[in-house]
Amino acid sequence: MFNKKNIRFILLTVFISLFVSFFIEVCVFNFKNLTKKSDSFPEIVDLDVKDVQGNNYLVTKDSYIVIKNKTGYINFLKLNYKSSNPFSWGIITNNGTVEKIYKSDSKNINTAIKKVGTKDSTIKIKFYDDATISNISIDNDIHIYWERFFSILFTSMLLISIIKKRSFFLANLDKLFLMSIICIGISFILLTPKAVYVSYDDQIHFKNSLNIFQKDEYRLSYAEQLILDDSSVKDNKVYTTILEKKEVYKYLNKIHKESKDRFINSNDKGNLYTRFIYLPFTIGYRIADFINLSFTSCLFVAKLFNMLVYAFLMYLAIKLAKYGKKILFVFALFPSNLYLATHFSYDPGIIASLTLASVLFINIITSDKINKRYLIGFMLLVIWACLPKAIYCPLLLLPLFISNKKYDSKKQAIMFKLMLVFITFLLLLTFVFPAVSGSMAGDNRGGNTSVYEQLQFIMHRPINYVKTFALYTYYNLTDYLLGLYSFVDMRYILEDSIYFPLYFVLLLNWIYTILTSKTPNLNKNNKVIIFLESAAIWILIGTAFYLSFTPVGSGVILGVQNRYFLPILVLFSLLFIPKNNKVEKDSITNILIPILVLVVLLGILSINVIP
Amino acid sequence: MNKVKKYIIPSLFVIAFILCLIFPIKKYSTKSFERKDVYSFNLDSSKEIVQDFKADADYEYVGFTYANYEKIIKKGSLIVTLKSDEKEIISKSFKISSLLNNVTIYLNQKIEKGKDYQLVIKNSSNENVAVYLTKSTIDNANLYYEGESVDDNAIVIFRNEKKSYKHLWYYFMALSIYLVIIVVNKGEKKNVQ
């Protein structure tokens, strides 16, 4: 593998990628600053403030300060402030025609670094509330944004390698996947805010991962609490530039270091088994914390560990799959999957576990004899995924439909199947029993919910519920399986409209991938079973949300999202591969599309999102 | 290795089963004052509220819920004291913070049916703490803030604990997984022979 030729190729790739990253970062993103100088003490040509005390300006409503621009260009305007409450202020450029309004608050940082980008000879800073302002300066320095630099580096290395070694990678999709997800996944982590409130319920997952064993007293540094309680840390409207965000991260790192011995009391008594899935986060976070990395680095390592678990499980799925390797490759690189895998979320762990379990199941039913490892692996993976979301437990019953002849003896087959039914029963106990007994609380995010009362409603008006469910299926089936959010979902960071065109590309590619994959050796019975299992999960998910997330008696089902169906998407898609595809059609475009879409999204992230 | 499989692991399962039966875990059930038009009441730094109440049943714990939405509590605690007949029964300091969800804290103190109690909640942090009040009228319950009577009541929560054998679920899950592995492996051995 590491012969002279390969080493030379690797070195050359690294060199070219380094050059490209450096060039883009310095010559493209800092182009206007290359020949400009900063001005730490710009001349104040006019002002109307309440008072001046040395270098401090006490400003109030309608105060203003006008500064002279001797540098020829103002990239960033920097100033320090102090205020007891959030205060509004604005920068007026283009000779008084353009005004950008900001709201600053000294509870976290007391430095504002705002993008101005003007050649005006003077700019006016206007204030609308009380504050003390000092150290106004013009910043035209070259700022290397290392997160973007490394993202470009990794992406360039990936693309050069794929182009040069395309035949090798076409034959080894598992290796291509591993390389792609590591390069792009790390870039995703780097380019998104080092905070929570960035993906679905990540604040809840982060909090749970901090107290995985539900202790009565647990450590919660001030920085950990700050990102949980104050969503403005990730807010691009409050901290509008990378430089400001860096100040916030510096502050978080400082207060984390100072408050590592801070413990709080907790009454957090949930079910322990639902927390095991957070182990990758907790292990990564604690290791990073133990070796004294900064708070933001700890967050990076925690997310990285979660992403690596997702990558490893999906890599195994692609490597072991007898059928649908391409489908798995394309699916594993869905931006919605990758985005969740690079944030605090347990969904990717569930999706990857159940996808690998589906692959093992297909391998078993298309073989003459059962494979011991596959069978045990299937069972463990489904149990692991069902601990936090028991709704997927019908999948555990799939091996019941494997012919007894494939086992070593009939007795072994019956014993095994009985045990599986018992384990499924144990998993069902975790949510069916509390729901029926009335001890399960509804999710208050759904409004006036009550699991017990909703169940009573269904029992008394079953026809009503059947109607509600039929309508829910009619209106949502296509959307939940093939809709925008199944493919690309980066809500809280990017607007839907930005990635809408990418969705169509991915959808077409997904359909093409299914139509050109090799037909799996599934008989009619197998297909019926897979269909029924998928239908059972569809019904269970809809019913679970009707019970827990929908107000009692409602005619619609609320709270269901596309990501809940991703774990069964690959298994379900196998049913749609045409009958007579004897070989898997190789196409570099088909394989490149998911990677290129991710690269485009990285580009959009690096321009639109402040990490 | 064979000895481990044959004797040690089954013995561990037997011991674990006995331990599960001998040491049940705790299961809690809660009851609180009726919640009607609930609102949060700002308890200023170093001030206290006193909630009088008469216990309608025996309980093992008494507590309440707090939060803070305005400013994050850097350091501080709530000092909660339970009194009966003007005598202090228990006093505990709780290290507090504001988190996403409201936090409920309990005093591990038995409450006797029919007895009058006073729950004194003092804020010793530098920030305001929100304690939840209800507009419900509760029999024999009154709230005082800085000695002044307030019309509403703090939402006092009572908790009882019961024995629970819920951890047997973990036991049976582990046992089932172990048995499945045994069943599958046994079949393969026979096959090899």
Nearest Cα residue in chain A from B171: A426
pLDDT attached to residue A81: 94
Establish if B176 touches chain A: CB-CB under 8 angstroms. Answer: yes
| CB within 8 Å: A225 and B99 | yes
Unique residue bearing structure tokens 């077409």: A508
Alpha-carbon distance of A22 to A158, in angstroms, equals: 16
Q: Which of A269, A408, A419 sits opposite B176 (nearest CB)?
A: A419
> Which of A218, A221, A229 to mutate to probe the B interface, most B CBs <10 Å?
A229
| CB within 8 Å: B100 and A228 | yes
Q: Which of A204, A265, A409 sits opposite B190 (nearest CB)?
A: A409
Q: Which of B176, B180, B188 sits opposite A426 (nearest CB)?
A: B176
DSSP string over A309-325: HHHHHHHHHHHH-SS-H
Both tokens of residue B114? 């029919």
> Which of A214, A405, A419, A440 to mutate to probe the B interface, most B CBs <10 Å?
A419
pLDDT attached to residue A255: 92
pLDDT attached to residue A492: 82
Residues of A with Cβ-Cβ distance to B96 under 8 angstroms: 264-265
pLDDT band at B193 (very low <50, low <70, confident <90, very high): very low
Establish if B98 touches chain A: CB-CB under 8 angstroms. Answer: yes
> Which of B159, B176, B181 to mutate to probe the A interface, most A CBs <10 Å?
B176
Q: Which of A259, A416, A430 sits opposite B184 (nearest CB)?
A: A416
| CB within 8 Å: A222 and B72 | yes
What pLDDT digit, counting tens, does each position of B45-81 carry? Answer: 888 899 999 988 899 999 888 877 656 677 778 899 9
C-alpha dist (Å) from residue A446 to A72, A115, B13, B99: 55, 40, 42, 21
- Beta-strand relationship, B153-154 and B129-134: antiparallel
Beta-carbon pairs below 8 A across chains A and B: 87
Unique residue bearing structure tokens 């308890």: B43
Cα angle vertex A456, ends A452, A458, to 5°?
115
Q: Nearest-CA distance from B5 to chain A in Å? A: 17
Element (H, E) at B6: none
Chain B window 64-83: which residues touch A at a Cβ cutoff of 8 Å?
71-72, 74-75
Residues of A with Cβ-Cβ distance to B93 under 8 angstroms: none
Both tokens of residue B100? 């996403």
- CA nearest neighbour of B111 among B62, B42, B175, B181: B62
pLDDT higher than 90, residue B28: no
Alpha carbon A33 to chain centroid distance?
Answer: 34
Q: Which of B28, B104, B176 sits opposite A422 (nearest CB)?
A: B176
DSSP string over A380-407: HHHHHHHTT-GGGGGGGGGGGGS-GGGS
Residues of A with Cβ-Cβ distance to B102 under 8 angstroms: none
Please, which residues bridge with residue A183 across strands?
A: none
Task: Report the amino acid identity of residue A353.
Answer: S
Residue A81 CB partners (closer than 8 Å, separation 6+): A87, A104, A106, A110, A111, A112, A131, A132, A133, A134
Check: CB of residue A490 under 8 Å from CB of residue A335: yes
Q: Nearest-CA distance from B146 to chain A in Å? A: 26
Establish if B173 touches chain A: CB-CB under 8 angstroms. Answer: yes
| CB within 8 Å: B186 and A416 | no
| CB within 8 Å: A228 and B94 | no
Question: To 10 degrees, the CA torsion angle through A193, A195, A198, A200?
Answer: 150
Alpha-carbon distance of A451 to A75, in angstroms, equals: 56
Other CB atoms within 10 Å distance of the CB of residue B179: 17
Alpha-carbon distance of A467 to A544, in angstroms, equals: 16
Which stretch of A422-431, B98-107, B167-176 has the lowest confidence by average pLDDT? B98-107
C-alpha dist (Å) from residue A33 to A21, A74, A418: 17, 9, 71
Residue A184 CB partners (closer than 8 Å, separation 6+): A154, A155, A158, A333, A338, A595, A598, A599, A602
- CA nearest neighbour of B90 among B59, B123, B118, B130: B118
| CB within 8 Å: A267 and B106 | yes
pLDDT attached to residue A327: 96
Chain B window 108-167: which residues touch A at a Cβ cutoff of 8 Å?
none
C-alpha dist (Å) from residue A194 to A245, A249, A342, A388, A573: 9, 8, 11, 25, 36
Residues of A with Cβ-Cβ distance to B28 under 8 angstroms: 269
C-alpha dist (Å) from residue A520 to A322, A524, A570: 8, 12, 13
What Rg do the C-alpha atoms of chain A give, in angstroms?
28
pLDDT band at B167 (very low <50, low <70, confident <90, very high): confident
Alpha-carbon distance of A50 to A43, in angstroms, equals: 19
pLDDT attached to residue B131: 84
Residue A157 CB partners (closer than 8 Å, separation 6+): A13, A14, A17, A183
Detail the DSSP E strand segments found in A110-153: 111-118, 122-127, 131-139
Nearest Cα residue in chain A from B76: A264
- Beta-strand relationship, B87-95 and B148-150: unpaired
Element (H, E) at B99: none
- CA nearest neighbour of A132 among A87, A164, A172, A97: A87
Q: Which of A264, A372, A423 sits opposite B188 (nearest CB)?
A: A372
Alpha carbon A482 to chain centroid distance?
Answer: 19
Residues of chain A falling short of pLDDT 70: 1-2, 268, 438-448, 611
Unique residue bearing structure tokens 């205020």: A83
Q: Is A75 exposed, middle or buried (0-12, 13-18, 19+ CB in 10 A)?
A: buried
Check: CB of residue B121 under 8 Å from CB of residue B80: yes
Q: Which of A262, A266, A409 sits opposite B187 (nearest CB)?
A: A409
pLDDT attached to residue A305: 97
Establish if B191 touches chain A: CB-CB under 8 angstroms. Answer: yes
Residues of A with Cβ-Cβ distance to B97 under 8 angstroms: 220, 225, 264
Residue A262 CB partners (closer than 8 Å, separation 6+): A219, A220, A221, A222, B75
Both tokens of residue A171? 């034959």
pLDDT attached to residue B10: 87
pLDDT higher than 60, residue B188: no
Unique residue bearing structure tokens 């009939």: A410
Question: To 10 degrees, the CA torsion angle through B148, B151, B154, B158?
Answer: 120
What pLDDT digit, counting tens, does each position of A169-224 carry? Answer: 999 999 999 999 999 999 999 999 999 999 998 999 999 999 998 887 888 898 99
Task: Report the amino acid identity of residue B126.
Answer: N
pLDDT attached to residue A599: 95
| CB within 8 Å: A423 and B74 | no
Determine the longest span between alpha carbons in chain B, in angstroms: 86
Q: Which of A408, A423, A430 sits opposite B176 (nearest CB)?
A: A423
Q: Nearest-CA distance from A231 to chain B in Å? A: 10
| CB within 8 Å: B170 and A265 | no
Alpha-carbon distance of B17 to A367, in angstroms, equals: 38
Residues of A with Cβ-Cβ distance to B191 under 8 angstroms: 408
Alpha-carbon distance of A315 to A181, in angstroms, equals: 10
Check: CB of residue A241 under 8 Å from CB of residue A276: no
- CA nearest neighbour of A312 among A344, A353, A358, A343: A353
Nearest Cα residue in chain A from B78: A265
DSSP A444: G
Residues of A with Cβ-Cβ distance to B95 under 8 angstroms: 217, 263-265
pLDDT higher than 80, residue B191: no
Both tokens of residue A376? 């045990």
Nearest Cα residue in chain B from A376: B181
Establish if B27 touches chain A: CB-CB under 8 angstroms. Answer: no
Query: Phi, psi (5° rounding) for residue A419?
Result: -65, -40
Q: Which of B28, B180, B186 sits opposite A379 (nearest CB)?
A: B180
Q: Nearest-CA distance from A207 to chain B in Å? A: 9
Check: CB of residue A477 under 8 Å from CB of residue A470: no
Q: What is the pTM of this model?
A: 0.89
Alpha-carbon distance of A195 to A249, in angstroms, equals: 9
| CB within 8 Å: A267 and B96 | no
Q: Which of A230, A267, A372 sits opposite B72 (nearest CB)?
A: A230
